[in-house]
Structure 1
Amino acid sequence: MSDHIPVTVLSGSLGAGKTTLLNHLLTNAGDRDIAVLVNDMGDVNVDAELVAEGSDTDVAGGVEELSNGCICCELQDDLETAVVRLARNREFDHLIVESSGISEPAPVARLFTTESAAAARYRVNGLVTVVDSRLFVDTFGGEGTPERTAAEEDDRPLSDLLVEQIEVSNAVVLNKADLCTDDELDEAEALVAALQPDADTVRTAFSEVDPEWLLDVERFDEGEVNDLPGWKRALADEEHEHDGEHDDGHGHRHPDEVYGVASFTYRQRRPFHPERIAAVLRDLPDGVVRSKGTIWIADNELRQTVGQAGSSVRVEARGPWIASLPEVEQDLYRSNRPSLEWDEEHGDRRTEYVVIGTEFDEDALRDRLDDALVTDEEWEDVDALPAGPFPTENQDETALREPAPATVE
């Protein structure tokens, strides 16, 4: 075991119960000496004050704060300075970094896993996401519940943030479980398992988590390749289907059929008609919680990456298809990527699109995707097709669908 100080990175949407969880851990620390670093987007770090107020004098001395920024982006340097200063000035057994409600845990963890002054003193113990179970069920339920954005400082839909924080987690705390039925919690657990198959899950009320479960279990392995989000795992699984693994003949898997949660991967070496596929993506079934992948749009030489969570659907251009480059550049790319799947006719152009959800008609959705492909006649005159809403400049992004604004009663 490394003698580096273990770090737990704590994330979760605003109001999920992160501060309550911190105070619970500090109050029930036992023989542990815990240091806490709290990040808040405001000028005044309210969370740090609440944690300090809820802690005894000894522990409160280990509460550091970063305000007016986000530690996953503009406060990275401040974060490194703060954690190194903590390790230099005070002895403690465990560091908990609580990010703001709009932060993603992966960039924070990266600070402790790359060559840095922080990595020389710390090791990541786990990435923990606290989820408001009631909000999670409502957001991804089939009733079309209006969504709000993650926060005033972040215009991303809440569903995007919830999904991203779960997908990179090692442990998920389903908080406010007392506000949900057992069936709703069962479905929530199944959805978490579909989004991140390797995450441990626990149900709580008032964030009362067993400190041993959260702090003493080593869940993070920098070299572990299995800790993939569900959509990436689905792509990886399908690569083995020709060997008979996970093979049910349809290119999909069922994380938990008991609760209606399933996923499938749609693959095609024929491009989509720009307007028809846009219509499909704007009208995905209510039961589709998460879908992501690369799609091939006719007469567009850029790889289009679709990211959907709940009622939010966004598309970003992620560089050109290698097959669209001059032959010399193609050869260079292919020599550096020996595992690249290459079709003699279409090169690397193809669609790989993973869909995860609950109680949706897979066959019907596959048929709609098939119908959105270009016909033979359209393919012969692809230049005549409409451009559609997809980006034509690298790294440009467009929103195909945004959540309906939440109403205030």
Structure 2
Amino acid sequence: MTEQRDLDAPDAGAPRRTELVVLCGMPREGIERTIGRMRDLDPGLVVLHHDLHDLGRGRVHRRLRRGPADEHSVLELAHGCVSCTIREDVLPTLAGLAGEVDRIVLHLDPRLEPEPVCWALGSVLFDAGDGEQVTAADLVDLTAVVAVLDPDVWLEDATGEATLPERGLSTLPDDERTVAQLAVGQAEFADVLVTTRSLGPADVDRTSAVLDRLCPTAPRLLPSSADHRVFGDGLPAEARQGVPSGVHDPLLRGAPPLEAENGVRTLLFSARRPFHPDRLHDAIDSLLDGVVRARGRIWLATRPDAVLWLESAGGGMRIGHAGEWLAGADEQAWAEAGDERRALASLAWHPRWGDRAQDVVVLCHHADPDEIDAALRGALLTDAEITAGEDAWSALPDPFGWAHDEPCEDPAPAGLPDPTSRPEQGRDDREGEN
């Protein structure tokens, strides 16, 4: 039986803090029906929304609904960007409402993924008014992330190659995110999924089979019949509740099904020898066709100390530097790694490689997992290359730079820091790019 959280039972004597629900996704009609149902369940609900369609001109359209009041305003931002919106208005507004209302819904613009926003809520410091630097998470309890999706178009979006500008979803000149990245990121990070229609069983509905594996812990509700789970009540213990994933966290959450169903299957790829960079560059093409999601930690022969994070959605991929392996690390690095990572590294310690390993999860909907596995294994160093030693490895051609995108672009010069890599603690701040 799945363990349940009792979120209506605060510690004895502790004041009840304002609860925060982050709501994301598309389409607009489904979002509005979901908000309507949430307001039926909680008439005192406050809904805060920032419309970013005019962000390119430094303007954000702000809407605050509180009971019968419905306030609209336009914010002029000196530096029109998502991070400015969060820092200059979202955080102060939440601070002003904290303790004054029971529950707030932060309705994200459909262009936003929830994970980087939740990271900001828990990490970005601001002045709450008394000179003390706090985060939003110090003032409110983030109880759930809710994503709304349309099953009739979601899978096509999640496996396509179109960029947000091509679909008219972004006017920012440097925004090259794909619709797939957005669709997958919203659903994967959600604690609750609201679907605009009912889904059939996984053996007849491919979208259902994909969601079973992408977000197995998230209950699925309809807007008209959503219950208090949209507020985080009674969620399973594995629910993220807005906590971003760490690079060294388990790659599978909530025990998703591993067997094939309706052509959908999850591949778990693991290996204890490094990748040949040039051969891996050729092999990753196998992850861009017929694959919903690939994510995981990789290790290149040319960089024995670097943990690289690989993440794809649909036809786009990003590989970036994400920290260091503990093998060869000093005592300070071990102390800062945390108990769980140290324990996992020790359990899987290899006499030669230490904690270095390849661990990638691939969610396939049309691709053959066995062919992907063969392509990735063919990119590992051969026995002869292993025997040649690390001095020989350092001379291997390395097309990746420190950050790499697919479809392929010219890699950044080796040695330059990558501003878009996934940090050690799991932050993925591509949403904050201007």
Verify same fold: TM over 0.5: yes
Match of 1:358 in 2: 365
Match of 1:210 in 2: 225
Identity of paired residues, percent?
A: 22
User: What is the DSSP-based 3-state SS (H/G/I as helix, E as strand, rest coil) of the residue aligned with 2:327?
Assistant: helix
2:303 to 300, 304, 322: 300
Equivalent pair of 1:322/1:333 in contact (CA under 8 Å) = no
CA displacement 1:52-85 (0-9 Å, x = unmatched): 7xxxx95234678767566667523522211232
Sort the Cα spacing of 1:349 and 1:38 in 2 relative to 1 into closer, same or farther, 3 A. same
Q: Which amino acid counterpart does residue 396 of structure 2 have in structure 1?
A: P
Match of 2:149 in 1: 131
Match of 1:265 in 2: 268
Match of 1:20 in 2: 32
Match of 1:310 in 2: 314
Question: Cα offset for 1:316?
Answer: 0.2
Sort the Cα spacing of 1:233 and 1:191 in 2 relative to 1 into closer, same or farther, 3 A. farther
Match of 2:424 in 1: none
User: What is the DSSP-based 3-state SS (H/G/I as helix, E as strand, rest coil) of the residue aligned with 1:155?
Assistant: coil
Sort the Cα spacing of 1:6 and 1:163 in 2 relative to 1 into closer, same or farther, 3 A. same
Does structure 1 residue 98 correspond to structure 2 residue 107? yes
Question: Cα offset for 1:291?
Answer: 0.8
Sort the Cα spacing of 1:320 and 1:122 in 2 relative to 1 into closer, same or farther, 3 A. closer
CA displacement 1:137-183 (0-9 Å, x = unmatched): 21345xxx4412262333222212222222221111223x49x9998
Within 2, Cα distance between the matches of 1:140 and 1:305? Answer: 20
Within 2, Cα distance between the matches of 1:117 and 1:330? Answer: 26
User: What is the DSSP-based 3-state SS (H/G/I as helix, E as strand, rest coil) of the residue aligned with 1:286?
Assistant: coil
Aligned residues: 362
**1:198-277 alignment to 2 at 5 Å?**
198-203=217-222, 208-213=223-228, 215=230, 218=233, 224-225=237-238, 227=240, 234-235=251-252, 254=257, 257-277=260-280
Q: Which amino acid counterpart does residue 306 of structure 1 have in structure 2?
A: L
Sort the Cα spacing of 1:181 and 1:72 in 2 relative to 1 into closer, same or farther, 3 A. farther
Equivalent pair of 2:19/2:103 in contact (CA under 8 Å) = yes
User: What is the DSSP-based 3-state SS (H/G/I as helix, E as strand, rest coil) of the residue aligned with 1:279?
Assistant: helix
Q: Which amino acid counterpart does residue 213 of structure 2 have in structure 1?
A: A
- TM normalised by structure 2 equals 0.69
Within 1, Cα distance between the matches of 2:61 and 2:299? Answer: 46
Sort the Cα spacing of 1:45 and 1:92 in 2 relative to 1 into closer, same or farther, 3 A. same
Question: Cα offset for 1:360?
Answer: 3.1
Match of 1:372 in 2: 379
Within 2, Cα distance between the matches of 1:8 and 1:377? Answer: 54
Sort the Cα spacing of 1:260 and 1:102 in 2 relative to 1 into closer, same or farther, 3 A. same
RMSD: 4.0
CA displacement 1:71-130 (0-9 Å, x = unmatched): 667523522211232357xx6543111112233324544576689475565322321112
User: What is the DSSP-based 3-state SS (H/G/I as helix, E as strand, rest coil) of the residue aligned with 1:194?
Assistant: helix
Equivalent pair of 1:261/1:356 in contact (CA under 8 Å) = yes
Does structure 1 residue 162 correspond to structure 2 residue 171? no
CA displacement 1:268-292 (0-9 Å, x = unmatched): 1111111111111123263221111
**1:61-72 alignment to 2 at 5 Å?**
61=70
Within 1, Cα distance between the matches of 2:349 and 2:270? Answer: 14
Question: Cα offset for 1:186?
Answer: 2.6
User: What is the DSSP-based 3-state SS (H/G/I as helix, E as strand, rest coil) of the residue aligned with 1:318?
Assistant: strand
Equivalent pair of 1:112/1:123 in contact (CA under 8 Å) = no
Match of 1:319 in 2: 323
Within 2, Cα distance between the matches of 1:356 and 1:6? Answer: 33
The answer to which of 314-323 and 269-278 deviates more is 314-323
Match of 1:390 in 2: 400
Q: Which amino acid counterpart does residue 190 of structure 1 have in structure 2?
A: A
Within 2, Cα distance between the matches of 1:261 and 1:38? Answer: 36
Match of 1:32 in 2: 43
1:7 to 12, 20, 27: 20
Match of 1:195 in 2: 214
Within 2, Cα distance between the matches of 1:111 and 1:192? Answer: 26
Question: Cα offset for 1:192?
Answer: 1.9
Q: Which amino acid counterpart does residue 105 of structure 1 have in structure 2?
A: P
Within 2, Cα distance between the matches of 1:139 and 1:268? Answer: 31
Within 1, Cα distance between the matches of 2:371 and 2:233? Answer: 42
Structure 2 unaligned residues grouped into runs of 5+: 1-8, 11-15, 124-132, 410-434
Equivalent pair of 1:124/1:220 in contact (CA under 8 Å) = no
Does structure 1 residue 339 correspond to structure 2 residue 330? no
Structure 1 unaligned residues grouped into runs of 5+: 238-245, 247-252, 404-409
Sort the Cα spacing of 1:304 and 1:190 in 2 relative to 1 into closer, same or farther, 3 A. same
Q: Which amino acid counterpart does residue 86 of structure 2 have in structure 1?
A: L
Within 2, Cα distance between the matches of 1:214 and 1:299? Answer: 48
Equivalent pair of 2:43/2:67 in contact (CA under 8 Å) = no
User: What is the DSSP-based 3-state SS (H/G/I as helix, E as strand, rest coil) of the residue aligned with 1:209?
Assistant: helix
Sort the Cα spacing of 1:16 and 1:260 in 2 relative to 1 into closer, same or farther, 3 A. farther
- TM normalised by structure 1 equals 0.73
Match of 1:281 in 2: 284
Match of 1:406 in 2: none
